[in-house]
Amino acid sequence: MAEIIVTTSGKGGVGKTTTSASIASGIARRGKKVAVIDFDIGLRNLDLIMGCERRVVYDFVNVIQGESTLKQALIKDKRIETLFVLAASQTRDKDALSLEGVRKVLDELIADGFDYIICDSPAGIEKGAHLAMYFADRAIVVVNPEVSSVRDSDRILGLLASKTQRAEKDESKVKEHLLLTRYSPKRVAAGEMMSVDDVKEILGIEVIGVIPESPDVLAASNAGTPVILNAESDVSLAYEDAVARLLGETVPLRFLEEPKKGFFARMFGG
């Protein structure tokens, strides 16, 4: 049975698209058939992070409006056999997405044998965000250990519990997972940044991953490679752990401590 997972946050710039790209790639790399959909109508971004921006011919809205088939619009990833991207439309018409249109596309993906559908939500709580979460079975709530991000995430948790199909039909609720990004163990140790436990305590949901702050994220987006595919990076390992947990494995959290440095490195920078 296919699972629909929304990546959401409320606040912008916290790492939703980076997360969608890496989680989708990580699951697909394990042989599952995965589609990742950009719901940010008007502001297409996922294609850049996935590195397929020049291969977009048809988009999500084209499919909904019957201007192309789903098959024509799905972009097959060049690195991972079982990974497909559906790009956002750049139309300025915010009403181009409709609940019924989205439902039709998701149903078709499920009928085509996709195992996982990752919905990359736009920031905010407007229509695009609502549609991205509406059909979700699970939600990855991306949060930075910072006051406005945490508060916005709590708003999103409220919406997941009330404005989704599962909530409206009184089915079992959308399963919520917390993913912390831009985590700096050094600043946490210095008392300058809230810890994983602090954020977990405030929001009261289970943590699926902690992604350390790293220049590798920008490097990966510059190159159009999902950061999880950069095997050298702690970020990649942290996302891989999150993928494992998402698929039901028990993996301890890591990268919560600052790597130990020698005396000279501490005194003279590095």
Binding site for other proteins (CB under 8 A): 146-147, 150-151, 154-155, 158, 162, 188, 190-195, 198, 201-203, 266-270
Q: What ranges make up the beta strands (E) of 10-50?
A: 34-38
Give residue for tokens 């999500």.
60
Looking up tokens 């954020």 gives 199
Minimum CB separation of residue 180 from other proteins in Å reads 13
Q: What DSSP assignment string belongs to 159-214?
A: HHTTSSHHHHTT-SPPEEEEEEEEE-HHHHHTTSS--HHHHHHHH---EEEEEE--
- Closest approach of other proteins to the CB of residue 184, in Å: 11
Nearer to other proteins (CB atom), residue 11 or residue 33: 11
> What are residue 106's phi and psi, to 5 degrees?
-65, -40
The identity of residue 115, as a single letter, is D
The two structure tokens encoding residue 173: 């609720």
Least Cβ distance, residue 51 to other proteins (angstroms):
35
Q: How far is the CB of 265 from other proteins (least distance, A)?
A: 9
Three-state secondary structure call for residue 85: strand
Whole-number Cα distances in Å, 224 to 66, 74, 83, 221: 29, 18, 15, 5
Q: Which is nearer to other proteins, 43 or 161 (CB)?
A: 161
Q: How far is the CB of 214 from other proteins (least distance, A)?
A: 17
- How far is Cα 238 from Cα 183, in angstroms, rounded to an integer? 11
Q: How far is the CB of 139 from other proteins (least distance, A)?
A: 17
Nearer to other proteins, 147 or 251 (CB): 147
- To the nearest whole angstrom, how small is the minimum distance from the Cβ of residue 202 to other proteins? 5
| Residue with smaller CB distance to other proteins, 138 or 187 | 187
For other proteins, the closer of residues 57 and 147 by Cβ is: 147
C-beta of residue 149 within 8 angstroms of C-beta of residue 11? yes
Single-letter residue type at 156: I
